[in-house]
Amino acid sequence: MNSLGLIFDIIGVLILFTMDLKMIGLDADAIPMTKDPVKVKKEKIKACIGLGFILFGFTFQFLSNFICK
């Protein structure tokens, strides 16, 4: 179960790593590179999915400490 959580964490980090943070204005000194709301919405959805994978993986790793003793 711990390994499954780690796999989910890695997938989430890879999704976030492939994001274009400048596109949605999350970079520290970024001016949003596009005004296209469709592209911005896609990147925000990608961010939510990546964070969801990380939280899901963390939950699996946390629960493995109590279930798999």
Chain segment 26-39, per-residue pLDDT in tens = 555 555 566 677 87
Q: What is the dihedral of CA 27, 21, 7, 52, to 10 degrees?
A: 90
- pLDDT the model gives residue 2: 83
Chain segment 55-68, per-residue pLDDT in tens = 999 999 999 888 86
Looking at the 3D structure of the chain, how many domains does it have?
1
- pLDDT the model gives residue 21: 65
- What does the alpha-carbon distance between residue 37 and residue 53 come to, in Å, rounded to a whole number? 24
pTM of the model: 0.76
**Mean pLDDT taken over the chain:** 82
Domain hosting residue 54, numbered range: 2-67
